[in-house]
Structure 1
């Protein structure tokens, strides 16, 4: 870990996009402005109360050579795949799918109205892991450990390690630190980041 501070180089707004069978979302990574940030291939945000923006979902489609990480803040989504993986992703839960040598899966809403809010990150696999067997991890909200600081800051540790607490997701090829930080008004927290 390093104690040095880094300066923000530039701010790039998310770009409106549509994916799956017409799901409306905003894309931050994987756009013309930010198309090469290996191992991160894509970062999408979905955040709407309008069911027409998400109800069509993501019917069966293939992936290969990377991992998808879906973090649900609000809402319910059902995952099914050809490796036998599946489950319902609900508010506060995480779905980590390793496509490896190839998988076909679907992600469909388990709700017909109300807020659907979350993120999906695509993480490139190292060349030596691209042909591994596909697998799926469904992490329930109550299984994501949380660190609470005296100032009221709450850090949910999805993957990696923070303040001596290991994240809920394990056995992943790329070892990211993936946390959800909740701060009270005026609050702050420092997250140590490995060099590199």
Structure 2
């Protein structure tokens, strides 16, 4: 059953990158444990070429998943890598990290997602981590004539490369054929489906590209393409943390006092030393 449906809204971030904000916008705030979901999609380099110059984070995880184009990551811990079409990068900011995400192309289509996932209070000041997962490391499952890429979590005996087991976190990229597809639920309280290509019937209701559906926790997800055009969705599921959320831009903690401390640490150049 679809609980509510929402359309992403235009936004800008970084040095002026144009994107669509899907989660953490006026009609759809935090979806615990998911703090934010952005889609960036343009073949006009003026929309993305300025990228995301160095900026700090604390208290959560970022996950970047690319459909087209190339984006380079560099951070203050010494990690560097390029995520390309079909690949994902996972960064646990935790106690603090400063990173940059910059296009590695001057023209062509840049298309992908960035997801922010909250951390429980006990992990917010743990050590920062980063991992690069190229396209060939992401398992693909065939369900009827659909292709399911398992980016995070467990499904049908397969494991995605990104794991946060305590949250039963699941992320799938599902490219539909013409046959219906059923994806069973594992009972995660937060279940979301975002249509990023074509029109898709979700449990009988048709959603258009750019719409997200909040789903009941226990229903099997029934998907079917609603037209000749290619249809694809991102599926997210996870267990809520259930703790207070305090956010100021790139810092996500539990209290305002912790946010103020994060700002002081950043200004003093000790974000990662706290």
TM exceeding 0.5:
yes
How many residues are aligned here? 189
**Structure with greater strand percent:** 2
2:136 corresponds to: 142
**What is the rounded CA distance, in whole Å, between the counterparts of 1:153 and 1:71 in structure 2?**
19
Matched-pair contact (CA < 8 Å) for 1:91–1:141: yes
Aligned CA distance change for structure 1 residues 85 and 194 (closer, same or farther; 3 Å):
farther
2:82 corresponds to: 88
Match of 1:176 among 165, 169, 173: 169
Match of 1:108 among 102, 105, 109: 102
Matched-pair contact (CA < 8 Å) for 1:86–1:136: no
Quick check: which has more Rg, 1 or 2? 2
1:76 corresponds to: 70
1:3 corresponds to: none
Deviations along 1:155-192, one digit per CA (max 9) or x if unpaired, are 11111001110111236664311111111134423242
Given the two structures, how large is their TM-score scaled by the length of structure 2? 0.66
Matched-pair contact (CA < 8 Å) for 1:40–1:123: yes
Match of 2:21 among 22, 27, 35: 27
- Higher mean alpha-carbon deviation, 9-18 vs 92-101, is at 9-18
Deviations along 1:84-134, one digit per CA (max 9) or x if unpaired, are 122000000000000000000000000000000011000010100000111
Question: Which consecutive residues of structure 2, in runs of 5 or more, have no partner in the other structure?
Answer: 190-274
Match of 1:157 among 147, 150, 162: 150
Residue aligned with 2:181, SS: coil
1:66 and 2:60 equivalent? yes
Aligned CA distance change for structure 1 residues 173 and 109 (closer, same or farther; 3 Å):
farther
What is the CA distance between 1:11 and its match in structure 2?
Answer: 1.4
**Structure with greater helix percent:** 2
Matched-pair contact (CA < 8 Å) for 1:16–1:25: yes
**What is the rounded CA distance, in whole Å, between the counterparts of 2:171 and 2:21 in structure 1?**
18
Given the two structures, how large is their TM-score scaled by the length of structure 1? 0.92
Matched-pair contact (CA < 8 Å) for 1:129–1:173: no
Residue aligned with 2:7, SS: coil
**What is the rounded CA distance, in whole Å, between the counterparts of 1:16 and 1:105 in structure 2?**
24
